[in-house]
Amino acid sequence: MALHEHLAHHLDEDDTAVTKALLRLRSWAIRCLNELGDSFAQAIEYGQDLLADCERALGETHPSTLASRDNFANAHQDAGRVDEAAALQNRAGPG
């Protein structure tokens, strides 16, 4: 997350490899937060930003975007926000 905060302002469309690598690292961090289960609010906050960045950089149907949406939905589910989780899962399309 710190790498993203530091580098995001310096990246442009020509830095796709770095952008994709940061998206993968951020996705991994969200999965870890979900698995630890002690910071649902943080997982939701970071997950929302990550999903928006994935949709913008990769498109809504890219496998990494779909995985990020699923992780974001899991964070909502684990936090007891079942309606939000269901809405995100429905957007993810066929499983």
The residue among 3 and 43 whose pLDDT is bigger is 43
Contact indicator for 1, 26 with CB cutoff of 8 Å: yes
pLDDT tens-place string over residues 51-73:
998 898 889 999 989 999 998 99
Section 3-15 average pLDDT: 64
pTM above 0.85, yes or no: no
* Cα atoms in the 13 Å half-sphere on the side-chain side of 92: 21
Q: How far apart are CA 74 and CA 70, in angstroms?
A: 6
pLDDT tens-place string over residues 13-28:
666 788 888 888 888 8
In the chain, what percentage of residues exceed pLDDT 90?
A: 12
